[in-house]
Amino acid sequence: MVRLWSSFARPKASLLYGWGRAKPKRAAAAAATPPGAEAASKEEEEEDFDPANPPPFRLGEIRAAIPTHCWVKDPWRSMRYVARDVVVVVGLAAMAVFFDGWVVWPLYWLAQGTMFWAIFVLGHDCGHGSFSDSARLNSIVGHLLHTIILVPYHGWRISHRKHHQNHGHVERDESWHPLSEETYRGLGYLTRKLRFSEPFPLFAFPVYLWSRSPGKQGSHFHPGSDLFHPNERSEIVTSTICWLAMASLLLSLSWVIGPVPMLKLYGVPYVVFIMWLDFVTYLHHHGHAKKLPWYRGKEWSYLRGALTTLDRDYGWINNMHHDIGTHVIHHLFPQIPHYNLVEATKAAKVVLGKYYREPHKSGPFPFHLFGILARSLRIDHFVSDIGDVVYYQADPQLHGGRQDKSG
């Protein structure tokens, strides 16, 4: 036994010799590498990487890398987030009414509008079924959360499902998808200017609910819209009735307490919420430093479309709006609850490699994203009418010739 242990305890001389010789070789190689060469090599690799190439992995490989518990939906935990947000909304309104000063109201509007957006995200989880495994609970909670912020739950849920099923597809995608050059040229100059000039795109959501995007027809409120299948029409009627009931309640409250108090308590926060929604959803599909592809025909696949989405860091807002900035993994697997998205993303990045674009780290507030939004609106106007892999092009006449160089 002593001899046997000795054979394991003392490495062979040849092994020790091999280790001793390897270190100087690595050190010599490192010493021979000119300063900055390693960084230059990485830059060359980045230059050679084409995000439009089919990835060398499959959806199942990403799924397998994500821990099993990340897929578990805990309805009690989800309801705790709802309770938290509702308590904050009520508390903010009570404080604003109690202090009632013009120093307080702007702070209230920003905070309450952000909380409206957080409530929307929880209703969004209900729409995906990531809130719980109960379709009935998802529908009840989703209707309550979305109705109080004037969103038709089923109408939006169905169109958003279409967005996820067709993300990255030029024609079939549903929200913030590119306009073909023909459609773009068919718009009036004023429409083009408003669509691609700040801050007007940040008020697009109510218009989208009523009439969808240019080149598409239908309404989220109308059961006969081509957005919906015949068997979904009763659901659209239900959501539209809920929306009308909420709108009637708001009008009645305006009659009772006056339009100005209602504007201060609800109207301005609603506008801030709309701006958050358009700001976040736009930047999850636009604004990368280098051009990202959009697809048509046989080049499109669910996986390739999802890999054109972007994660964003919102600083302190990340937790407030339920980590919706972890958007890549959400598009790949919308069934994952929001409270597991960060962990799932960390696990998936090992497989995704360069197809995952690390978001710029934000300070407490995501002020850096305003510059990204402004740049994208200046250069991301339309895509070619032909081709199965296309990129955004800029209209040099739209902003008086002020264009950024695109990657």
Q: Is residue 178 part of a domain?
A: yes
**At residue 300, does pLDDT exceed 60?**
yes
CA angle 324, 94, 89 (to 5 degrees): 15
Q: What pLDDT sits at residue 85?
A: 98
Q: Do the Cβ atoms of 142 and 131 come closer than 8 Å?
A: yes
Average pLDDT, the chain: 89
Q: Do the Cβ atoms of 226 and 217 come closer than 8 Å?
A: yes
**At residue 2, does pLDDT exceed 50?**
no
Q: What pLDDT sits at residue 147?
A: 98
Structure tokens at 149: 């912020």
Q: What pLDDT sits at residue 399?
A: 77
Q: Is residue 20 part of a domain?
A: no
Q: What pLDDT sits at residue 307?
A: 96
Q: Is residue 68 part of a domain?
A: no
* SS3 at position 382: strand
**At residue 321, does pLDDT exceed 70?**
yes
Q: What pLDDT sits at residue 48?
A: 79
Query: Mean pLDDT throughout 331-351?
Result: 98
Q: Is residue 60 part of a domain?
A: no
C-alpha 239/C-alpha 155 separation (Å) is 7
Output Rg (C-alpha) for the chain, integer angstroms: 26
Report the candidate in 293, 312, 314 with the shortest Cα–Cα distance to residue 304. Answer: 293
Query: Residue 31: enclosing H or E segment and its boundaries?
Result: helix 13-32
* SS3 at position 389: strand
Report the candidate in 170, 135, 129 with the shortest Cα–Cα distance to residue 393. Answer: 170
Name the residue with tokens 């964003």.
312
Q: Is residue 8 part of a domain?
A: no
* CA 98 remoteness from chain centre: 36
Q: What pLDDT sits at residue 215?
A: 79
C-alpha 285/C-alpha 396 separation (Å) is 22
Query: Mean pLDDT throughout 138-156?
Result: 98
Lowest-pLDDT choice from 11-20, 151-160, 163-172: 11-20
**At residue 115, does pLDDT exceed 60?**
yes
Q: What percent of the chain has pLDDT over 70?
A: 86
**At residue 175, does pLDDT exceed 90?**
no
Residue 210 CB contacts under 8 Å (≥ 6 apart), including other chains: 219, 220, 221
C-alpha 106/C-alpha 390 separation (Å) is 43
Q: Do the Cβ atoms of 321 and 121 come closer than 8 Å?
A: yes
**What confidence tier does 216 reach under pLDDT thresholds 50, 70, 90?**
confident
Query: Mean pLDDT throughout 35-58?
Result: 70
C-alpha 250/C-alpha 232 separation (Å) is 28
**At residue 125, does pLDDT exceed 80?**
yes
C-alpha 405/C-alpha 407 separation (Å) is 7
Tens of pLDDT, residues 9-41:
333 333 333 333 333 343 444 445 555 545 444
* SS3 at position 339: helix
Q: How many CB atoms lie within 10 A of CB 301?
A: 15
Q: Is residue 70 part of a domain?
A: no
Q: How far is CA 32 from CA 24, 29, 91, in A?
A: 12, 5, 64
Domain of 154, in residue numbers: 75-390
Q: Is residue 204 part of a domain?
A: yes
Q: What pLDDT sits at residue 214?
A: 83
**At residue 283, does pLDDT exceed 90?**
yes
Question: In the chain, what is the greatest distance between 2 CA atoms, to the nearest angstrom?
Answer: 96
Query: Mean pLDDT throughout 289-293?
Result: 92
C-alpha 170/C-alpha 180 separation (Å) is 8
Q: Is residue 404 part of a domain?
A: no
Structure tokens at 197: 């000039």
Quote the number of domains for the chain: 1
